[in-house]
Amino acid sequence: MKALTLIGIATGALALTACSTRMENDNTMSKAPAATVVGEARSCIPVNQISSSRVHDDRTIDFKVGRQTYRNTLPQRCSGLGYDKAFSYKTSLSQLCNTDIIRVLHQVAGSYQEGAGCGLGQFVPIEYDKSTKG
């Protein structure tokens, strides 16, 4: 089976948005916008339906799948993710799952180099709070 490699590069990172600041388990502040959970967490999301991803910090990525946004809070801090805001993943399945590993992409001299590998968490369906922009 052929492995599928996709690169998720967060866009709009420079946009000024109202963000919540909550404490994460490792005592760092989350930069993810405030959101409300609107359903049950999922272990996987379909790769072919991911239209965008947005990295908020070293532990939080929002994935847009159709009309739904899924927040993935990584179980451990992923060094450099929040700074570089880019990652790659490889999967031989048609889904991205909480058992998959992402790799931080560092831009060096106009090209990307893979960095730290980090495990994903559950995909939690969210809606951004009305006071924030997602």
Look at residue 134 and tell me if it is in a domain: no
pTM of the model: 0.77
> What is the span of the domain harbouring residue 52?
4-10+20-128
Look at residue 75 and tell me if it is in a domain: yes
Look at residue 15 and tell me if it is in a domain: no
Look at residue 119 and tell me if it is in a domain: yes
For the chain, how many structural domains are there in total? 1
Position 1 confidence tier, pLDDT thresholds 50, 70, 90: very low
Q: Are 126 and 56 in contact (CB under 8 A)?
A: no
Look at residue 133 and tell me if it is in a domain: no
Position 2 confidence tier, pLDDT thresholds 50, 70, 90: very low
- What is the tens place of the pLDDT at every residue in 29-84? 788 999 999 999 999 999 999 999 999 999 999 999 999 999 999 999 999 999 99
Look at residue 34 and tell me if it is in a domain: yes
Look at residue 27 and tell me if it is in a domain: yes
